[in-house]
Structure 1
Amino acid sequence: MTTWPDLPDREIAEPLDNAYEHAALIIDSDDALRARLVPVLADLLARGTAVLMVVSAKVELLVRTEFGALSDQLQWSDRSSFYQRLGFAYEEFRRYTAEQYAQGRRVHIIAEPDITTEIDPSSPVDRAAEYLSYEVVYNDVIAPYDCPLTCVWDARRHSTLIIENVRLLHNHEIIDGGTLVPVQHVPALDYLAHRNEIPLSTPPAATDLDLTLSSLGEIGPVHTAVRSWAGQQAFSDTAAVDIVLAVAEVATNGIVHGDAPVRVRAWRHANTLVVQVDDAGGRPLPPIAGYLSPDGDPGAGRGMWLARQLADVVKVHTAGGVTSVRLHFPHDVTHHFPVH
């Protein structure tokens, strides 16, 4: 069961001058999609605004049916080029908006998150819930690039809890008629801090790997063991290297920023490889750890950022004098490699 942080009731907010527009467009029927998205696109096309569409084939068909030849004025992108591992998806949007800004272009992005396909139903994590941590960061990280982002969420495909949180993590919502309504949203640091307070499930009593290291000089055997284990689980050499790099970065952080001993356990859950790294420092990680790219913020640490890029889902919790970082590597997603 997904555990959620306590979030405030949504309220209509006062419009803010130059506020970054990160809007939720929530639908529960094709008619709702037509009533909300079509007016938005009609206005953008009328104003000559550059628009990038990263949506499903179903949404594309509706738009092309409504606009005919005008739809060719929109830029269309395959969702798989953006939505891959969750960290990849987040970084692709950040890089794209940064590139557009550097070229002096203001592009309005219409995106429909693709976070439930190709995932085993028995996955140990709710991937949609985990993606929301990236959604809330968009409010701050992409804002400087001035590329409005409209996220299409279909209530027929997601739980009520997911949709309620989607509403609370965007600073605007689009309602019928394409009306843009500013709403109260949860600050990223508050939301992420609450997420880090959620305890991790108990690891299996018996795991495939259970290693302990006391210094950086012992990281080599961990590399070897994790790579061999991933290969035995039918992960390709390239995917295994990604797993090794992610685990090594987190284990290194545990020694350098936490305290020894650092324990590394690994197990398989259905089609997902799971690795948990525990350090004895007992110091909570900053809520934003791993969400800020070293390219975009020279002050950001590289280790957790790289771990969030290479693992699909990263969960963090500190309790009882132990800081734990759990990495999830679903087979199909880990074998889907990024555009960049």
Structure 2
Amino acid sequence: MTGFFHETAFYGSDDDFLALVVPFLEDGLRAGEVVVAACAERNAGLLRGAVGGDVLFLPGADQYSRPSDSISTYRELFREHTDAGARHMRVVGDVPHPGTGASWDWWARYEAAVNQAYAEFPVWGLCPYDTRTTPADVLADVVSTHPNIAVGPEVHEANPGFRDGLAGTRQVTDALEHRAPLIDLVDVTAGAVREAVGSAIGGIALSEDGAHDVVYAASEIVTNGLTHGVAPVRFRLWADESRVLVAVTDQGSGPADPLVGLMPTTATRSAGLGLWILHRTCDYVSMGQDSDGFTVRVSVGGQT
């Protein structure tokens, strides 16, 4: 195997899950491959009771609060094993989605991004999704982001529904957006936004780091919109007692590269490294087209 073989599968019962995943793992063990299971607690328990051999059990992606953290962790793991001489690896992993209580946008971008992020490693990655809990729009994104699909136990096919690039997931309006924004500005400078945000969030129960993250995020995404977007660029901020949401909208199409924000890059001054920092520090970041244009939303504090 050379490069990353990215595959999905769908199951509707615990027995179906085991029928798909156990042969996948056991075939890897028999071949002497590095075999990893990174599933949520329930599925990990099923696998521990069904698979013999030296499987490396890791926390599922639901234990990583941010997909950028997950990418960084997996790349370190893959590099460690390939540097140690591993020629092939297999990984089965659950990916968070609204059916498991997670916001989907940045995990949809994760599923698209890993086709590039893991491309240098000899890894077969299987992402099984439970049709009992996974919403239909998420399943559609899953199909579009996986080049391969397991249609049955040990039956692996090229996925005709795969589309290279970003997932087609729609932006979801945050609950705070039902309120009037505390700040609503058009085509202001990043400096003016930093000043306005600093004044607006003074009474909100944020940690010192959280307050810094809000100001940094506001400045960064405004700079990004002014530098790479299409005018007019609109900045808005909402807040409740413990959480702040900022949104920046421009009239451009936004970046087409699914890696933007999920891996560090110095290819551009703003659209790469700055957005990656946001993805590593803020509680939630969504990016995509909505009814107003291309919008970046960043949430800090409270519950997202």
The answer to whether TM tops 0.5 is yes
Point out the structure with the larger helix share: 1
Say if 1:144 and 1:263 are closer, same or farther in 2 by CA, change over 3 A. same
CA distances 1:278-329 after superposition (whole Å, capped 9, x unpaired): 35xx3332222624623xx542521233333334231233888x65322234
Alpha-carbon RMSD = 3.5
User: Given residue 287 of structure 2, which amino acid in structure 1 is its aligned partner?
Assistant: K
Say if 1:308 and 1:248 are closer, same or farther in 2 by CA, change over 3 A. same
1:253 aligns to what?
A: 224
Q: Does 1:109 align with 2:91?
A: yes
2:47 aligns to what?
A: 63
The higher relative CO (CA closer than 8 Å, separation ≥ 6) is in 1
User: Given residue 252 of structure 1, which amino acid in structure 2 is its aligned partner?
Assistant: T
Say if 1:118 and 1:268 are closer, same or farther in 2 by CA, change over 3 A. farther
1:246–1:310 contact (8 Å) kept in structure 2: no
2:263 to 277, 283, 293: 293
2:107 aligns to what?
A: 131
1:147 aligns to what?
A: 123
CA distances 1:39-78 after superposition (whole Å, capped 9, x unpaired): 111111111211222112222222222235x2xx111112
Q: CA deviation at 1:268?
A: 4.1
Q: Secondary structure at the match of 1:92?
A: helix
User: Given residue 208 of structure 1, which amino acid in structure 2 is its aligned partner?
Assistant: L
2:57 aligns to what?
A: 76
1:123 aligns to what?
A: none
2:33 aligns to what?
A: 49
1:87–1:310 contact (8 Å) kept in structure 2: no
1:93 to 60, 68, 74: 74
**Residue identity (%):** 21
- Gaps (5+ residues) in structure 1? 1-16, 120-125, 334-340
CA distances 1:199-242 after superposition (whole Å, capped 9, x unpaired): 7759546213335663344354145236536xx1x333333333
1:218 to 185, 192, 208: 192
The number of aligned residues is 296
2:22 to 35, 38, 53: 38
Say if 1:161 and 1:314 are closer, same or farther in 2 by CA, change over 3 A. closer
1:56–1:79 contact (8 Å) kept in structure 2: yes
- Gaps (5+ residues) in structure 2? none
2:285 to 303, 313, 322: 313
Q: CA deviation at 1:28?
A: 0.5
User: Given residue 112 of structure 1, which amino acid in structure 2 is its aligned partner?
Assistant: D
2:75, 2:196 → 1: CA distance? 32
Q: Secondary structure at the match of 2:157?
A: strand
User: Given residue 281 of structure 2, which amino acid in structure 1 is its aligned partner?
Assistant: L
Question: What is the TM-score with the length of structure 2 in the denominator?
Answer: 0.79
1:332, 1:253 → 2: CA distance? 26
Say if 1:331 and 1:97 are closer, same or farther in 2 by CA, change over 3 A. farther
The range that moved more, 236-245 or 257-266, is 257-266
CA distances 1:167-220 after superposition (whole Å, capped 9, x unpaired): 33211222433332222243333x45x55xx57759546213335663344354
Q: Does 1:328 align with 2:304?
A: no
1:227–1:241 contact (8 Å) kept in structure 2: no
2:249 aligns to what?
A: 278
Q: CA deviation at 1:23?
A: 1.0
User: Given residue 199 of structure 2, which amino acid in structure 1 is its aligned partner?
Assistant: A
1:171 aligns to what?
A: 147
Q: Secondary structure at the match of 2:4?
A: coil
Q: Secondary structure at the match of 1:207?
A: coil
1:109–1:147 contact (8 Å) kept in structure 2: yes
1:22, 1:258 → 2: CA distance? 32
Q: CA deviation at 1:135?
A: 0.5
Say if 1:181 and 1:209 are closer, same or farther in 2 by CA, change over 3 A. same
Q: Secondary structure at the match of 2:286?
A: strand
